[in-house]
Amino acid sequence: MKPFMDQDFLLKSDTAKALYHDYAERMPIVDYHCHINPMEIYEDKRYETITEVWLGGDHYKWRAMRSCGVPEKYITGDASPAEKFQKWAETLPSLIGNPLYHWTHLELQRYFGITEPLNGDNAMEIYEKCNAILAQPDMSTRGIIRKSNVKVICTTDDPADDLKAHELLAADPDTPAAVLPAFRPDKAMRADKADFPQYVARLEGVVGYPIEKMEDMRRALRDRIEYFAQHRCRVSDHALDYCFCVPADEARLDDILARAKAGRGITWEEQLAYHTALLLTVGQEYTRRDWVMQLHFGCIRDNSSAMFGKLGPDTGFDAVNDASSAVGLARLLDALEQAGALGKTILYSLNPSDNAVIGTIMGAFQTNSAIPGKIQHGSAWWFNDHKPGMEAQMTSLMTLGAMGSFNGMLTDSRSFLSYTRHEYFRRILCNLFGQMVEDGEYPADMAQLGQMVENISYRNAVRYFRFDEVIGA
């Protein structure tokens, strides 16, 4: 019997152990997609309790607690931090096989030196120990980033944001990592949403001119892309329910925008046409600037109307979308390519059934690129960033693409302690490679394998996103 989560956790062969400990373990972290608040980095925020770090906005944990019958009072309600932590600790033993179990204990080990399993019986003892450690000088947000060996962080930012935190961080010589904005224009592209008129008004206030026609919206997004570029941005992110490509002429697009802005409502087909047109516009800008476009698709959001009304979005009520993405994805990439708008692109699906779809379609668009892996199969995302999900995504990429060009892991998290997810990923990666060597499916060339592991863990992303321009690596 192996010890619980020891130094060789998830590493089942001598080759896997060597790959992890000699290569992967020492590599810095590039977190090219997350949801942390950049102002908290600038202000060097400190946390009074582990509850604030773990349960303040982690809808992964909230879902698990609800599944174990924990009342909402102890999840998002007015219970005390100690009470909420106690309920999380009582939930944890039921989560065998859930990545939350592993992530929780990796964080306890790496940041707090706690190796015993957390449960309801020892919850308060561990709670007090964690809180005492959080009070230490090196456990502020900047201290955590330094401890984690993070070199680059890309946050998630709306086109209308002023990026003040990014300006302050860029001017601060003590900033612990390069903190860059990522352009996330979803609100500008969802003309079907009830708050679209208010958002357009906000965007008009930022750009300083009215947005009446489609070309005005294009101009506004181009202007904001330029503003983001001045703040060192080099990556965008787009959330799609599923993949689509619905062409429309300019007169129809102008009409769609006018009705949506007036709050008169548009059809779903009209929304897809409007969205398609703007994806082509921003894709051209990204390509011209050598930015990376990330496309996240395959999610049904806010399924519980009752809880959405109480808590709003991103509170644990989303699910996998089983709508077919194959035809829509192929047509969208083709339209982008024809418009000169298909530059470096990362594809993530929340539905693991799309692994082969992504792997085969992206292979049809890997042309005319100075960098390997122009179109990427993004790492296992959200409901898939667990051991079998990561193994499935990487196995599909190995069998259908070129694993050596893979950009590796990201946290997609709101927590500063989530950097251990990179460790979790790297251990799974090394175990996969190690097993192939043990089975005689790849030569035991440790120099070659080690370099590949280091590239996937760090160097590929630095090269792909041009992060060497900001960190000098």
Instruction: Decide if pLDDT at 231 tops 80.
Output: yes
pLDDT in tens, 37-76: 999 999 999 999 999 999 998 999 999 999 999 999 999 9
Instruction: Decide if pLDDT at 473 tops 70.
Output: no
Question: Which pLDDT score is estimated for 365?
Answer: 97
Q: Give residue for tokens 């892996």.
A: 373
CA-based nearest residue to 197, from 253, 252, 274, 265: 265
Question: Which pLDDT score is estimated for 93?
Answer: 98
d(CA 156, CA 233): 11
Interval 223-250 mean pLDDT:
97
Q: What confidence category does residue 15 fall into, taking pLDDT thresholds of 50, 70 and 90?
A: very high
d(CA 301, CA 316): 9
pLDDT in tens, 111-143: 999 999 999 999 999 999 999 999 999 999 999
CA-based nearest residue to 166, from 227, 105, 256: 227
Question: Which pLDDT score is estimated for 324?
Answer: 86
Question: Which pLDDT score is estimated for 443?
Answer: 98
- pLDDT over 70 for what percent of the chain? 100
Instruction: Decide if pLDDT at 275 tops 80.
Output: yes
Q: Which residues of 59-69 are buried (b: 16+ CB within 10 A; e: fewer)?
A: bbbbbbbbeee
Q: Which residues of 428-448 are buried (b: 16+ CB within 10 A; e: fewer)?
A: bbbbbbbebbeeeebeeeeee
Q: What confidence category does residue 368 fall into, taking pLDDT thresholds of 50, 70 and 90?
A: confident
Query: Counting every residue, how long is the chain?
Result: 473
Interval 436-453 mean pLDDT:
98
* pLDDT mean across residues, the chain: 97
Interval 391-411 mean pLDDT:
97
pTM score of the predicted model:
0.97
More confident residue, 372 or 186: 186
Instruction: Decide if pLDDT at 187 tops 90.
Output: yes
Residue 321 and residue 350 in contact, taking contact as beta carbons nearer than 8 Å: yes
d(CA 53, CA 50): 5
Cα–Cα distance list, 464 to 126, 172, 196, 343, 384 (Å): 41, 26, 34, 11, 23
